[in-house]
Amino acid sequence: MRPAFGALVLALCSSLVASLPSATPGYRVKESVAPPRGWTKGDEPAADHVIVLRIGLPQHNFNVLEQHLFEVSDPDHARYGEYLSKEKVEELVAPHPSSLEAVDKWLASYGLEEADLTRSPAKDWVTIKVPVKTVEKMLDTKYNVWKHTASGDVLVRTTSYSLPAELYDYIDVIQPTTMFGRLRTARSTIVWNDDEDFSSAAAARVGTITDTASGAAVDASCNRTITIKCLQQLYNAEGYTPLATVKNSIGITGYLEQFANIQDLQSFYADQRPDALNTSFNFVSVKGGINDQNLTLSGAEAALDVQFAFGLSYPVNSTFWSTAGRPPFQPDDRTPTNTNEPYVDWLDFVLAQKEVPLSISTSYGDDEQTVPRSYAIRACAGFAQLGVRGVSVIFSSGDFGVGDGNPDPATQECFTNDGRNTTRFIPVFPATVTSVGGTESVPEVAVSRFFSGGGFSDYFPRPSYQDRVVRKFLSNLPKGLYKDLYNPQGRGFPDVASQGDRYRIFLRGVPRSIGGTSASSPTFAGIVALLNDHRLRSQKPPLGFLNPLLYTRGLAGFNDITSGKNPGCGTEGFNATTGWDPVTGLGTPNFGKLKDLL
């Protein structure tokens, strides 16, 4: 019997919309969504506008891979840590020959031969470049130019597509079709020097504070400015020096033209990590992504991510990926644009690599409801493939509380995207891997300058490893509180938390103070890199997919955060409380305890 593995149990789900439009005889509607909120439908695109179409074929033995993932990630299983090779993973997710044959025959009927196709290593994705007029015939649909009112972003999309009836079961998903997600970073709020003094002198305040949750003695200055030393003190990692630097590794994903400037990194190292001076990271371009070193183009998000993730884990091998994904776009231009979620382009690239960093942080995501369920499932299948190879994938939980970060009912903006426009909490995607919320201050409380993202997925069921702690949280909520605003059977997030405000970074040559769960995720990834070092030097495998471990053997290694809340959607949101909560998860890490427990 297959285990109920929860967030990564990726059984195909029904469409988001119960009532599907009719299709041309001989076709069946594959997916349909309501016209998305905030987007305005415009003219038809030019007939020769080229679309890069990605076709996902069913992963024939994914249930077997899922079983492997459950076993190698369960600390009480005999196979814990026995990760699979890239080649074995590809064998398990390869489509059945009948799927390949059916799809190839269909594509050939439109004049597309093998030379026109790009296949993933496992052949479970096929990518083609075709004019929109051809795509419309293939999918029995009509594309339009859609404009996002608030940002001005423009996409060529449809709200429904169909497949020939005989092909229906041979394809899981096709995009870009119904995807209206807008990849965004967590808030990354910057406080400029004009507002407050963040000089080294101001930060160097004397005295210590005892954190009540962890018992750690922390410099008083950490209540004003977070540095590497603050995190080491607060999370009981002070004095630990990684040794297993050959096998160990950490990675940061970069999107949306966020460039990681090496000069800024050197300034940061001189300020907080002088032993790392004159060292840097490996840069890897994905889909033509660049890392422009013009200091004026240094990105706040990228600076925060690389400086703290790599500074905290130094001298562990470090990688920064830059994934292209937001070029200038005119809807009458033939040039195809990468307006899909670039994190899936990154995922495709990384899964094709023989070696992958063992701890990876991403500070970007979407509102879950803007990502079609079928596409979300396939993305999570990709994250599962990394997990079964021994990689820990970590995402920030977002900075908008339970939805929009707005407690005012009169101006809240949390509405369903299914055509009903009812008020509902808005979970983020992907929060199905390991999700990190935000704290602040010493003693630690849930962050308050923005609001730690948290809640419950509407797509993914609660995993079995979460059952006990989430049930306990829900049982203690006042009866009827937020009824119908969230899915109590959904996967809860975040899983954990770490400091998320007043981080001292260097940006464009000067120190800045920055906050957001954008800071929390790379910090936690740095702690995971240190834990991997401890395991590798003891001849043990890396931690891989973290959650089954965190919710069992790792529970005693977290500082429980019991103060704060995450308002949004016209409510006060949830409260941080004893045990797991959808604000700070299990709490913040105690490295010293975790390395002994794990």
- Which of 90, 124, 172, 301 is labelled catalytic? 301
In angstroms, rounded to a whole number, what is the distance separating the alpha carbons of residues 103 and 107?
6
**Residue 459 half-sphere exposure, CB side, CA atoms within 13 Å?**
31
Residue 527's closest CA among 446, 593, 585? 593
- Give the three-class secondary structure for 72: helix
Our answer to whether residue 271 is catalytic in this structure is no
Cα-based angle 201, 202, 206 (whole degrees, multiple of 5): 85
Catalytic choice (124, 305, 341, 404)? 305
Alpha helices, DSSP H, located in 49-154: 62-73, 86-93, 97-108, 132-138
Let me know if 305 is a catalytic residue. yes
- Catalytic residue list contains 44: no
Q: Please give the Cα distance from 363 to 351 (Å, whole number).
A: 19
Residues near 131 by beta carbon (within 8 Å), at least 6 away in sequence: 47, 48, 49, 50, 51
579 is in an annotated binding site: yes
Catalytic residue among 518, 520, 521, 563: 518
CA distance 291 to 82: 36
The annotation status of 104 as a binding-site residue, yes or no, is: no
- Where b means 16+ CB within 10 Å and e means fewer, 421-435 reads eebbbbbbbbbbbbb
CB half-sphere exposure, 447, CA atoms < 13 A:
37
How many other CB atoms are there within 10 angstroms of residue 117's CB atom? 16
CA–CA distance, 31 with 17 (Å, rounded to integer) = 8
Round to whole Å and give the CA distance between 315 and 322.
21
**Annotation: binding site:** 560-561, 579, 581
**Annotation: binding site for Ca(2+):** 560-561, 579, 581
Write out the catalytic residue numbers.
301, 305, 518
